[in-house]
């Protein structure tokens, strides 16, 4: 009989004084490779192993009950559970560590089966439960305000690794997977540079045989990859688009996102306009407020000018500081004035104060800004 590997769940209490948590400083984990196939890969229920109604039972255990091991699937014959466990793995993570914040959000650090690590954040609100998930290990974009950007790029996450973040967080929160109704792809990585796997995971989120989410409750945040934005529109993924713009002009933007030289603001906004033209979905513009870099009233006026005619909502994100960050956040008054200038120009604006500061929940894009 094959021994079933167990996913390890650990809860780390917040540090005294609320020290900022940066993944690279977390204790390294020794991981045994797991070469079994991910059971999240076959489409439920038809492609799952098993005969007849057994496929449906297996799908229910995975996507409704949130089982993390075959051993939990008690209405399946023991011998079948054992043969499944020999061939397939349920969890994509060798270890899950949780870092609760005093404000109720919880940051999760996942150790993958190759020893790489990625992260997600659980954000409970009065009327909804949101999970912010990652699409890559590290990130190639290198935004100056982001701790993840400083880590550099590791690798793309697979589809199962993307979707299993939702399942693992739900389980740790004692929720059924379908109780998580809001997902934002704003964690580690640039989703549109891992398009195939992200699109696969999004389709699995929306699939009524899997997580059955509403596309209106899934948001993909990008630093601005025009071909990816156009592809999203052409593929009709149906989810909401958020653009991390952070500056109204190319020179300022390149100071904030060093890799932004590939595409100009004009090219990106053209793709966003095309996206709106095709999908008729309002786009969110994310703008992290950085002191002395992108927070002047002139820049607010310029932002309003370049967004004219676009059906967009601007989210101003106060910078969530982390140790060693080379930039500082704008003050409250400055943010307020910036917002007023945009509002006077007729743009809907929201300021989103970050959550989970004590556990480093924000990597820039992790600052949630849902309406």
Active site residues: 119, 363
- Phi, psi angles (nearest 5°) of residue 57: -60, -45
What is the three-class DSSP state of 107? strand
Q: For ligand SF4, give the closer residue by CB, 45 or 191.
A: 191
With CB atoms as reference, the residue minimizing the distance to ligand SF4 is 149
Q: For ligand SF4, give the closer residue by CB, 202 or 257.
A: 257
**Conformation bin of residue 17: beta by default, left when phi > 0, alpha when psi is -120 to 50:** left
Cα–Cα nearest to 103, from 282, 291, 362: 362
Query: Contact, 190 vs 198, CB < 8 A?
Result: no
Q: Which residues bind ligand SF4 (CB under 6 A)?
A: 139, 141-143, 146, 148-149, 188-190, 223, 363-365
- What is the C-alpha separation between 120 and 150, in angstroms, rounded? 17
- In the block, which residue shows the tokens 């948001």? 219
CB of 145 to ligand SF4, least distance (A): 7
CB of 281 to ligand SF4, least distance (A): 21
Q: For ligand SF4, give the closer residue by CB, 143 or 157.
A: 143
- What is the C-alpha separation between 217 and 206, in angstroms, rounded? 10
CB of 342 to ligand SF4, least distance (A): 21
Q: For ligand SF4, give the closer residue by CB, 66 or 187.
A: 187
CB of 363 to ligand SF4, least distance (A): 5
Query: In sequence order, what are the beta bridge partners of 289?
Result: 318
Q: How far is CA 12 from CA 9, 97, 119, 138, in A?
A: 10, 7, 14, 22
CB of 327 to ligand SF4, least distance (A): 12
CB of 222 to ligand SF4, least distance (A): 8
Cα–Cα nearest to 313, from 253, 272, 259: 272
CB atoms closer than 10 angstroms to residue 241:
23
The alpha carbon of residue 346 and the mean position of all alpha carbons in its chain are separated, in whole angstroms, by 30
Q: For ligand SF4, give the closer residue by CB, 356 or 364.
A: 364
What is the three-class DSSP state of 268? helix
CB of 8 to ligand SF4, least distance (A): 26
Cα–Cα nearest to 333, from 297, 303, 366: 297
Alpha-helix runs per DSSP H in the chain? 53-60, 78-87, 147-151, 159-172, 195-206, 226-235, 250-256, 265-279, 297-306, 332-344
Q: For ligand SF4, give the closer residue by CB, 304 or 357.
A: 357
| HSE-up (13 A, CA, CB side) for residue 109 | 24
Q: For ligand SF4, give the closer residue by CB, 45 or 138.
A: 138
Four-residue CA torsion sign, 309, 225, 136, 39: positive
């Amino acid at each position: 009989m094959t021994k079933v590997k167990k996913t390890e769940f650990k809860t780390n209490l917040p540090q005294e004084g609320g020290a900022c948590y940066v993944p690279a400083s977390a204790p390294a984990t020794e991981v045994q490779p797991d070469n079994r196939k991910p059971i999240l890969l076959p489409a439920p229920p038809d492609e799952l192993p098993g005969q007849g109604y057994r496929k449906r039972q297996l799908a229910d255990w995975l996507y409704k009950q949130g089982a993390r091991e075959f051993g939990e699937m008690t209405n399946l014959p023991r011998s079948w559970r054992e043969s499944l466990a020999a061939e397939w793995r349920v969890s994509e993570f060798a270890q899950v560590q949780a870092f609760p914040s005093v404000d109720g959000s919880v940051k999760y650090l996942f150790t993958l089966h190759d020893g790489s690590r990625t992260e997600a954040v659980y954000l409970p609100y009065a009327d909804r439960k949101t999970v912010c998930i990652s699409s890559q290990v590290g990130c190639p974009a290198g935004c100056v305000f982001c701790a993840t950007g400083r880590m550099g790029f590791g690798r793309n996450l697979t589809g199962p690794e993307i979707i299993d973040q939702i399942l693992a967080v739900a389980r740790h929160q004692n929720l059924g997977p379908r109780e998580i109704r809001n997902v934002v792809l704003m964690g580690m990585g640039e989703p549109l540079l891992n398009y195939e796997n992200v699109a696969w995971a999004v389709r699995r989120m929306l699939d009524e045989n899997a997580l059955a989410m509403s596309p209106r409750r899934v948001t993909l945040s990008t630093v601005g990859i025009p071909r990816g934005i156009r592809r999203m529109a052409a593929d009709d993924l149906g989810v909401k688009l958020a653009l991390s713009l952070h500056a109204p002009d190319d020179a300022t933007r390149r100071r904030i996102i060093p890799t932004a030289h590939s595409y100009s603001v004009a090219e990106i906004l053209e793709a966003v306009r095309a996206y709106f033209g095709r999908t008729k979905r309002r786009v969110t513009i994310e703008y992290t407020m950085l002191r002395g870099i992108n927070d002047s009233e002139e820049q607010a006026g310029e932002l309003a000018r370049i967004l004219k005619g676009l059906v967009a909502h601007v989210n101003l994100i106060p910078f969530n500081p982390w140790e060693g960050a080379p930039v500082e956040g704008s003050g409250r008054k400055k943010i307020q004035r910036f917002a007023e200038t945009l509002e006077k120009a007729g743009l809907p604006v929201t300021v989103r104060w970050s959550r989970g500061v004590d556990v480093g929940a924000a990597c820039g894009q992790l600052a949630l800004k849902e309406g």
